[in-house]
């Protein structure tokens, strides 16, 4: 059943398919009048909407009716629905979902919305269904044109083609179930929970004493000072020049060492 069809209507549509074609499974959507679907060049549900309507032209003469699909849509009905439902295209495939959507439109035409809110009675709604689907009986005696139709008869009884295929008591029971399902509050479908990604732990900084970079810079700075004193003969320079050079070397070394995360963490710096 198409997911856009409400629960109560879905129960009724399954019942209509079973009554009209004798089954409510996936194969029910490929049935044509008189179960002559095996005589078609391809399954009904693989044909487009336009192809079905075109093919129905010859079915009335060949099979005595143009009824097609799980809900036995007449050719005139499909043409009329295509005019009213602008989202339908002749190129749309006549799938089970499309047939469900079209049949639900017919339910609405026949007063489904009014029935579930109590604006029309169960008997009135059943008569409306019998007008749409000839296999359904009326639930109370009624007069059609000049003919008297008794409870349990098809609305089209006496035309030599149609008759009721289900007992009126069964229709009453199903419509009560439909009414109960339609009025029952339905919980919204909760979206599927997505896994929450776990936070990635930050790597712990190494202690300063275990940092190879710290000792490298420390030894480099010390070695640079010793080398400078030895190679550049700094002792021969003015003492103020010596101090300036040593300050630059030591300052560079201190900057390099204190830029290390481990050292900054140890010193409480951000």
What pLDDT, in 10s, does the model give residues 210-259?
A: 556 555 655 665 566 556 556 555 556 676 776 777 777 667 666 665 66
Could you report the per-residue pLDDT of 16-72, keeping only the tens digit for each? Answer: 999 999 988 999 999 999 899 999 999 999 999 999 999 999 998 899 899 999 999
Tell me the whole-structure pTM to 2 decimals: 0.66
Q: Are 142 and 168 in contact (CB under 8 A)?
A: no
Contact 43, 37 (CB under 8 A): yes
Confidence of residue 191 (pLDDT cuts 50, 70, 90): very low
C-beta contacts of 159-167 below 8 A and 24+ residues apart: 161/64, 161/65, 161/134, 162/134, 162/135, 163/134, 163/135, 164/130, 164/135, 164/136, 164/137, 165/19, 165/20, 165/135, 166/19, 166/135, 166/136, 166/137, 167/137
Least confident piece of the model among 152-161, 163-172, 188-197, 255-264: 188-197
Residue 205: both structure tokens together: 């900084």
Predicted confidence (pLDDT) per residue in 100-142, tens digit: 999 999 999 999 999 999 999 999 999 999 999 999 999 999 9
Mean pLDDT of the chain: 83
Position 183 pLDDT exceeds 80: yes
Q: Quote the pLDDT of residue 158.
A: 80
Question: pLDDT at position 189, please?
Answer: 42
Residue 265 has pLDDT above 70, yes or no: no
Q: Which residues of 65-93 are buried (b: 16+ CB within 10 A; e: fewer)?
A: bbbbbbbbbbbebbeebbeeeeebeeeee
pLDDT of the residue at 119: 96
Number of other CB atoms surrounding residue 131 within 10 Å: 14
Report CA-CA distances (Å) from 270 to 137, 201, 204, 255, 260: 85, 19, 15, 15, 11
Name the percent of the chain lying above pLDDT 90.
55
Pick from 60-69, 151-160, 198-207: least confident: 198-207
pLDDT for the residue numbered 171: 96
What pLDDT is attached to residue 14?
Answer: 96
pLDDT category of residue 12 using cuts at 50, 70 and 90? very high
């Amino acid at each position: 059943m198409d997911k856009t069809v409400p629960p109560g209507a879905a129960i009724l549509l399954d019942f209509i398919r079973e009554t009209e074609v004798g089954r409510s499974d996936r194969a029910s959507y490929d049935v044509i009048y008189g179960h002559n679907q095996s005589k078609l060049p391809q399954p009904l549900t693989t044909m487009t909407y336009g192809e079905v309507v075109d093919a129905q032209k010859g079915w009335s003469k060949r099979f005595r009716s143009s009824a097609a699909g799980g809900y036995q849509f007449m050719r005139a009905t499909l043409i009329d629905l295509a005019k009213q439902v602008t989202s339908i295209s002749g190129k749309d495939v006549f799938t089970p979902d499309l047939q469900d959507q079209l049949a639900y439109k017919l339910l609405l035409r026949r007063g489904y919305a009014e029935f579930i809110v109590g604006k029309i009675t169960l008997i009135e709604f059943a008569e409306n269904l019998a007008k749409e689907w000839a296999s359904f009986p009326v639930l109370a005696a009624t007069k059609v044109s000049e003919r008297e139709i008794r409870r349990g008869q098809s609305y089209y009884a006496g035309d030599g083609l149609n008759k009721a295929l289900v007992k009126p008591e069964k229709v009453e029971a199903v419509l009560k179930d439909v009414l109960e399902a339609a009025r029952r509050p339905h919980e919204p479908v909760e979206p599927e929970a997505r896994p929450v990604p776990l936070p990635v732990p930050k790597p712990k900084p190494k202690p300063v004493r275990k940092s190879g970079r710290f000792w490298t810079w420390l030894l480099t700075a010390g070695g640079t000072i010793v080398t400078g004193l030895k190679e550049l003969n700094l002792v021969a320079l003015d003492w103020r020049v010596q101090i300036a050079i040593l300050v630059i070397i030591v300052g560079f070394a201190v900057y390099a060492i204190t830029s290390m995360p481990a050292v900054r963490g140890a010193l409480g710096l951000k």
